[in-house]
A and B are shown apart, each in its own frame.
Chain A
């Protein structure tokens, strides 16, 4: 067996194990950490497919930023596990239905003709000087510029909407204005009083 195949199997097994860990572990922080492990392993599998730009971006964005914020929130939550399991039997039929739907959809998707391994031969290895960063850049910023701009505008609207939804006026909050603080003079704060000496 080729070394690359061994590496692939090792990392995909760890990936599946981590993914199972995400949904089976009781502790939410551990679940988030399993998700980090899953992201990292999928990044390595992308790297094996010579998609190094996407692999590193996955680590940079999801592992380095998104999951840190996730952990930040999850660690501060005080999750009580007992009420979570209360409605288990009540929600079981609905949950089972959704799970079955997803499984059926995935089977259909994987079995359709364009998803069979014959249609996806192993990619031909590129030379060492081939940079798929440049290829991606050309695709995004030259060939599909308009679509990319539309997606960017939609994201911008989403960001502004999220901020607008959480913004609320809180009149009792105290703010500092560093500009004013810097410009404070001695006369504003200090009063010199001349008084007789105490005996």
Chain B
């Protein structure tokens, strides 16, 4: 490969990355808007409605406010780790998007072990939280970090088992191939044969992103704001950004693995990238709905749910699935790559 070809490849890749990251940032901004509007509607309020038409410029105003605020570094905190923690939580949240297939052809890196890559990167995200909690040198932040570490390790196992179920029925770790294995109609998607795994995956996803009702790492009423209590300005905004990017990521993964990605639900309507966005938006709505509906879990209840309910459920369903694959029960278990 010549020098200019290499340079062109580099520039072209950067352009493609920007094509993913810029819309992602915009979706994060408007997800916060949607969250406030949806929760407002559920609680019979109006939500933001002052900045711009229907409050549509509210996220922009929030970003500007956070940008102009000072980033305070507490005394006796570990300065380097304190400042690098928000970056450590944001970077994996963005890097995981490299392997997400938006449509049949639109994917940045079509790698074989895509599912594993996503799982590995989402598990790295916890370091931002742990390091932030430790480096702040504050008891509240530290408690938040401890809770988050225990919670994420517990739910990762259930999540991993749920993904094992998906790769057993699709016979591939490549996210594009997983979607292609669900070709057909809405009843060919994996949510139907893997319904318990779908539920376990999504609830574990809510727990992994530290969202309500699993937000004990923040726990406003108990430990103020948990791991990011000492962060202000842009450093706080980065944590916020990472949390919402992870939410969109979990929703997108649920769509790819259980709801047929870019495939259309009815056979005669063409497939397309639009379906992917519609389904992801649908899954994201659940995150907001959960937050407005459920009170926060108590810490021991979270542990009980993760270890004593989800893991047995996933193992049981993997056994059922293995039998179904042996018996080649259609239409899901007989189309495996042989």
Residues of A21-78 at the interface with B, using a CB-CB cut-off of 8 Å, are 29, 33, 36, 52-53, 56-57, 59-60, 63-65, 68-69, 71-72, 75-76
Interface string of B123-160 (1 = CB under 8 A from A): 11011001100100000001001100110110010000
Contacts of B119 in A (CB 8 A): 60, 64
Inter-chain contact B113/A68, CB cutoff 8 Å: no
Q: A64-B120, A71-B149 are in contact. Are A133 and B156 (CB under 8 A)?
A: no
Whether the pair B112, A63 counts as a contact (CB closer than 8 A) is no
Residue in B6, B117, B127, B156 whose beta carbon sits within 8 Å of that of A56 in the complex: B117
Q: Is the CB of B112 within 8 A of A72?
A: no
- Contact at B173–A133, with CB atoms within 8 Å? yes
A76 contact from B6, B116, B146, Cβ within 8 A: B146
Pick the contact of A64 from B124, B131, B145 — CB < 8 Å? B124
B111 within 8 A of A: yes
Distance of A120 from chain B, by nearest CB (Å): 24
Q: Give CA–CA (A70, B52) in the complex, Å.
A: 49
- A56 engages B152 (CB within 8 Å): no
Whole-angstrom distance from the CB of A16 to the nearest CB of chain B? 20
* Bound CA span A55–B30, Å: 36
Q: Do most interface residues of chain B lie in helix, strand or loop, or is the interface mixed?
A: helix
Q: Is the pair B142, A75 in contact by a Cβ cutoff of 8 Å? A: yes
A63 adjacent to B123 (CB under 8 Å): yes
- Interface size of A by CB at 8 A reads 23
In the assembled complex, A147 has its CB within 8 A of some CB on chain B? no
CB distance from B213 to the nearest CB of A (A): 16
- Contact partner of B123 (CB less than 8 A), chosen from A3, A52, A60, A72, is A60
Q: A131 at interface (Cβ–Cβ under 8 A)?
A: yes
**Are the CB atoms of B112 and A68 closer together than 8 Å?**
no
The distance in angstroms between the C-alpha atoms of A133 and B150, with both chains bound, is 30
Q: C-beta contact mask, B169-184 vs A, less than 8 Å → 1, else 0?
A: 0000100000000000
A54: min CB distance to chain B, Å = 10
Q: Are A33 and B131 in contact (CB under 8 A)?
A: yes
Complex CA gap A114/B146 in Å reads 47
| Bound CA–CA A72/B154 (angstroms) | 13
The complex places the Cα of A57 from the Cα of B120 at a distance, in Å, of 7
Q: State the A residues within 8 Å of B (CB).
A: 3, 29, 33, 36, 52-53, 56-57, 59-60, 63-65, 68-69, 71-72, 75-76, 131, 133, 176, 178
A-B CB proximity, top 6 nearest: A64-B123, A60-B120, A59-B120, A131-B112, A56-B116, A72-B149
